[in-house]
Amino acid sequence: MIDLARRSGQILSISARTVHVNDKFSYSYGLEETLEHSPCETGDRGELTHVYAVARLKDGGVQFEVMSRADVEKVRALSKAGSSGPWVDHFDEMAKKTVIRRLFKYLPVSIELQKAVVMDERAEAGLSQDNAAVITGEYSVVDDEQQSLTVVSDSDREEAREYVSAILNSLDSSAADAKAMFKRAEDEISAMAGKLGEEYHPGIHDDA
């Protein structure tokens, strides 16, 4: 994947490092993002606490991604081979691979590389790669006030259908209730009109 990223022409280099409990490490996000790491060189570095990846871009920019040990373990738990193989024998290397893969999501990479990342993730999770796909298309920067596109899952779509169906059923029920209410009111008005007619014109029906 790193070779594919370099071939994109937009990325100069990508590197990944593990951070351990006895290292000096700090990072911050926001308007002024920082990342500082000084490995311990005077003894055992201790347990792994974080892993990070850094990409240097052709335009001079730098993009990095940091994952905690807990974050990596969550990804490992989703892997079909999480309890054996490289995840057990070479955990540090698998952690680096994981954070690099996550960093790719923020880099200007080719469709070929996007597809490789998706297929790699599916393979690690034990899923078929036949349905692996990357959504492509034109894009542009939009203002916060402009509407953004949202990918809707099948479950969300089904939930929406059920919600709309419930509303329509409720409207049908309300319409039927309203018709019945108006019919009762109409009958009551007719009855009251009949009584008033008899009070003001006694015997009018007999003459007729």
Residues 91 and 182 in one domain: no
Q: Is residue 191 part of a domain?
A: yes
Same domain for 106 and 202?
no
Domain count of the fold of the chain: 2
DSSP per position, 40-54: --SS---SEEEEEEE
Residue 25's pLDDT is 98
The reported pLDDT for the residue numbered 44 is 92
Query: Does residue 141 form part of some domain?
Result: no
Contact 68, 49 (CB under 8 A): yes
Residue 189 and residue 103 in one domain = no
Q: Do 60 and 23 sit in the same domain of this protein?
A: yes
Per-residue confidence in pLDDT tens, the chain, 208 aa: 556 556 666 788 899 999 999 999 999 999 999 999 999 998 899 999 999 999 999 889 999 999 999 999 999 998 887 878 889 999 999 999 999 989 988 887 655 555 555 666 555 555 555 554 454 444 444 444 444 444 445 555 555 565 555 555 555 555 556 666 667 767 777 777 776 666 555 555 555 4
Q: Would you say 98 and 51 are in contact if contact means Cβ atoms under 8 Å apart?
A: yes
pLDDT at 187: 74
- pLDDT for 105 equals 82
> Residue 152: helix, strand or coil by DSSP?
coil
125 and 160 in one domain? Answer: no
Indicate if 111 and 13 belong to the same structural domain.
Answer: yes
Structure confidence at residue 142 (pLDDT): 44
What's the confidence (pLDDT) of residue 83?
79
Do residues 170 and 124 share a domain?
no
Q: Is the same domain home to 88 and 8?
A: yes
Look up the domain containing 33 and give its range. Answer: 2-129
The residues, any chain, with a CB within 8 Å of residue 68's CB and separated by 6 or more, are: 49, 50
**Domain presence at residue 20:** yes
In a domain? residue 56: yes
pLDDT of residue 1: 56
Whether residues 13 and 109 share a domain: the answer is yes
**Does a structural domain hold residue 103?**
yes
Tell me, yes or no, whether 50 lies in a domain.
Answer: yes
Whether 147 is covered by a domain: the verdict is no
**Strands of 62-68's sheet, edge to edge?**
11-20, 48-57, 62-68
pLDDT of residue 126: 55
Angle 98-102-104 from CA coordinates, rounded to 5°:
120
